[in-house]
Amino acid sequence: MRSTPHILVVNGTKVRRPVFILGAPHSGAEPLARAIKRSRGFHLTTGRHGVLRVTYAFARQPSIATERGTGAARVLRDAYAEAWLVSARSCAQCSPECRELAGLPPRAPGDPGAAAGHGTEPCADPGGIARFADASPDLIYSADVLLDAFPDAQLVQVIRDGRDAVADMLDDERCLAWFKPGLDNLDTVFPNPFFGVEDHTERSRWPRAAPAVKCALRWRGAVRLSARLRRQVPEEQLFTVRYEDLVRKPRRVGDDLSRYLDAPISRAALSGLVRPAENDDGGVGSWRERLTARQVAQVEKVAGTELRRLGYRLASDL
């Protein structure tokens, strides 16, 4: 049962139908977030410390959210009330990723005025904000709390070929850092949605599992949460984007997204859905060159069922 509606006002604007972008690690949320952030009327954030602190607490120990009930929703609302503020001091706390999405230059390292917000260019005009959004990593694990905190929220989930996602995860030190000894909490949280470990065999093999296996487990776990969302959330509150369609048919996806959000996504924003620096395919199918044959076999053994269900052909089927 969802909590009763709560009115949140940020910078004088009521938060109505906030948008949250969800997906497994490296599933392609970033280009979609960039398009929304650069569209008129939207204020999208990502990676704000207060939000990450709360969402990772819920992700790594789901019982915190379930035991606190409405208290968890209140904590998350408070985190967003701070994250969505637009002021010199607040914007000085923005992550480099958030500034990049807005097209702003990186903040100079060691800038003595940064903490106070001196010289910080805000990414949005408070007077022009109509909708709020967030694309912080790993929000998928807090979807239930997001809907409790904002019952009218609109969720956008991104699905991508798990092999491409794993290839990107293996190149991301921040993703791999979760697998360092002492950071996993399988002894206290099991089954563990964050690491995708669901049975005792996976749990016993985890310490000696290859990085590709651990990445595949994380992707599989997030995709299973996405499937559960699709069954439980009303259609008007959940829109699914396939990353491959986002790359190959951005205007069609943009039109569909605009109708879902009841707000236009600008043509200028759509033209930047895929970085010019990326290859012509936007990374689609790059796993064929980036993963070894052994890694491909490991990923498909762990997540083959999910890959097939989502319409991706396995290497073993070719």
Q: How many domains does the chain have?
A: 1
108 domain-assigned: no
Q: What's residue 95's pLDDT?
A: 81
- Domain enclosing residue 20, as ranges: 9-86+124-317
144 domain-assigned: yes
pLDDT tens by residue, 201-220? 999 999 999 999 999 999 99
Residue type, 286: S
| Residue 79: φ, ψ to 5° | -65, -40
Angle at alpha carbon of residue 57, lines to 4 and 31, rounded to 5°: 85
> What are the beta bridge partners of residue 9?
14
281 domain-assigned: yes
pLDDT tens by residue, 10-19? 988 999 999 9
pLDDT tens by residue, 51-100? 999 999 999 999 998 876 679 999 999 999 999 999 877 777 788 888 88
129 domain-assigned: yes
Q: Which two tokens stand for residue 243?
A: 């990353």
Cα gap 257→93, rounded to integer Å:
29
Cα gap 5→14, rounded to integer Å:
12
91 domain-assigned: no
Q: Are 132 and 261 in contact (CB under 8 A)?
A: no
pLDDT tens by residue, 100-147? 887 777 766 655 445 544 456 677 778 889 999 999 999 999 999 999
- Looking up residue 182, the CATH number of its domain turns out to be 3.40.50.300
Cα gap 318→106, rounded to integer Å:
45
